[in-house]
Amino acid sequence: QLELVESGGGLVQPGGSLRLSCKASALGYYAIAWFRQAPGKEREGVSCIGGNDGSTLYANSVKGRFTISKDNAKNTVYLEMNNLKPEDTAVYYCAGDFTCGSWYHNAMEYWGKGTLVTVSS
């Protein structure tokens, strides 16, 4: 059983930055992903980092603006978000599974409860 707790959400102006954290009970070789769900929209995958080789995946909408990374010693995965736009407003969830393959299907095994990011002036 993998437990995940997100933090770091908040209100930020357009063009600003935020760093989200996902604290895992034990990272091990789990792949960890970030998803988001905006009001009235379906949940979408944002990024994923592999457990074995640390390979990364990004949605086209965030490429070049968001960076996923992890600190195995702290059992924490980060999502650095830069040049934020109003359309990035959503509840952001971290999720874990054995590979990032599940990220493509929006079907990871373990989920956190989410943290709200609001981009507004």
Question: Cα separation of 84 and 87, whole Å?
Answer: 8
The DSSP call for residue 52 is: S
pLDDT tens per residue across span 106-115: 889 999 999 9
Distance in angstroms (rounded) separating the CA atoms of residues 93 and 121: 23
Model confidence pLDDT, tens digit, residues 57-82: 999 999 999 999 999 999 999 999 99
Question: Using CA atoms, how far apart are residues 35 and 12, in angstroms rounded to an integer?
Answer: 19
